Amino acid sequence: MEILWIGVGGALGSLARYRLGREIIKKARSTFPISTLIINLAGAVLLGIVTGMKMENSLHLFLAEGFLGAFTTFSTLMYEGFNLIQGKKKMNAAVYMGSSFILGVLGYAAGISLVSW
């Protein structure tokens, strides 16, 4: 049953990421990968909130492992960072990857803090 919760959450998370990413790209009109950055940071905060909440295991699997696991994407972060480097935009790549990591950790901590506040 655990795999079912993770699978359904993952399917919904990937669809949400795709839809939200397209909307952000339309509005941002930038070559900087802002949509992945926003989605990953939002996912980090939400994962912090979910982690800080005491919930039933199946709901945690659905939200944390499934939905947020598919909503956020490390592979896209690496792909876009590498493309920035190849496109001779090394400073953009450093800002993108560095801010993703640092702000992601801070966002996760903020999410946990929101729940325990």
Where the chain has pLDDT below 70, the residues are none
pTM for the complete prediction? 0.88
- Residue 117 has a pLDDT of 76
- Residue 31 has a pLDDT of 83
- Residue 5 has a pLDDT of 97
Let me know: does 41 contact 104? Beta carbons within 8 Å: yes
Q: Taking the domains of the chain in order of start, what are their residue ranges?
A: 2-116
Distance CA 4, CA 75 (A): 23
- Residue 61 has a pLDDT of 96
- Residue 84 has a pLDDT of 95
